[in-house]
Copies of this chain bind each other. A is one copy, B any other.
Amino acid sequence: MILQFLWLFLISNKIFDIFVMNFNFYKNMLKAERHKYIMTKLIEDQKVVTTDLALALDLSEDTIRRDLNELDSKKLLEKVYGGAVQVKEKSDNVFDIAIVAEEQKKKIVTKALSLLHDDQVIIMSGGSTNLVFAKLIPADLKATIYTYSLPIAMQLSQHPNIDLIFIGGKMQKNAMVTIGMDVIQVVSKIKADICFIGASSINIKQGLTEVGYEISIVKKAMIEASDRVVSMFASNKLNTKMPHGVCDLTQLDTIVTELDPEDERLDEYRKSGVFIL
């Protein structure tokens, strides 16, 4: 009986040693090492607890808290009451697309809603203005829409009454649109009533111009395929220029900006014959 206890005692002593080793293992740790340890622990467990760390590293909780505050201010973790958790990946979600000046764009596209009618065949290019437009298309509109923009297709796929056709091809990843010959081929076979073209730049002489060559080609094909061509953009795009031409003003039927149609900044465009909404 005694022997059993003695044995247990020895065993427990061993365990105790291990404990002590673990406790004091990190005793002479530099601050940087500690931070690394904390970050590793955080990734392992999804969280760290102040008291646990103080125990594990044999330091006062105050020091741990200071560490956590420091790491928090570096945005490496998020401090919470009792410890810290992983900083939530803000842009991990590819799917939330930030739209700059969304209110302004809403104002623009709302005007263009009057151009929509049931049973139209519509082509939409990419761009955040067109995305806002897609959001605001009335739920009861019945139409066929072609697009080659992923975000716009995502948006329109929520729409109950729209026949949606995505134009496939090689993805231009930053703009999230397809480009290339496959796109041109499909677009050139469409007979659309109306197309909505985002604009990088517009001016009197060159008309619509684009920053990318491939996009400019696709837009040319869109215009060719549509009876009516509408371009929506904010007024800061007026009188600017990009390397690749898309079409001149005579090929545009309607432009839509946030300005009053009678605004003097649009005078020259109005003279060229394009309808201003």
Interface of A toward B, CB cutoff 8 Å: 4-9, 11-13, 15-16, 28, 30-33, 36, 46-47, 49, 78, 80-83, 85, 91, 93-97, 148, 150-151, 153-159, 163-171, 173-174, 176, 178, 182, 186
B residues within 8 A CB of A6?
4
Smallest distance from the beta carbon of A208 to chain B beta carbons, Å? 24
Which of the listed residues A11, A83, A97, A156 has the most CB atoms from chain B within 10 Å of its own CB?
Answer: A11
B residues within 8 A CB of A182?
168
Given known contacts A5-B8, A30-B80, is B178 in contact with A169 (CB within 8 Å)?
no
Q: Is the CB of A176 within 8 A of B150?
A: no
Given known contacts A4-B5, A5-B4, A150-B150, is B176 in contact with A170 (CB within 8 Å)?
no
B residues within 8 A CB of A33?
46-47, 85
Closest to A88 in B: B36
Q: Which of B7, B148, B154, B164 contacts A12 (CB 8 A)?
A: B7
Q: Which of B7, B11, B158 contacts A91 (CB 8 A)?
A: B158
B residues within 8 A CB of A36?
85
Count this chain's copies in the assembly: 2
Instruction: Report how far A107 CA is from B32 CA in the complex, Å.
Output: 32
B residues within 8 A CB of A94?
154-155, 157-158
Instruction: Report how far A126 CA is from B82 CA in the complex, Å.
Output: 41
Smallest distance from the beta carbon of A185 to chain B beta carbons, Å? 10
Q: Is the CB of A164 within 8 A of B157?
A: no
Q: Is the CB of B96 within 8 A of A93?
A: yes
Closest to A159 in B: B173
B residues within 8 A CB of A163?
170
Which of the listed residues A80, A97, A171 has the most CB atoms from chain B within 10 Å of its own CB?
Answer: A171
Closest to A6 in B: B4
Q: Is the CB of B157 within 8 A of A173?
A: yes
B residues within 8 A CB of A9?
4, 7-8
Jot down 10 A-B pairs with beta carbons below 8 A, ordered by A: A7-B16, A30-B81, A93-B96, A94-B157, A94-B158, A95-B96, A157-B171, A157-B176, A164-B170, A165-B171
Q: Is the CB of A167 within 8 A of B164?
A: no
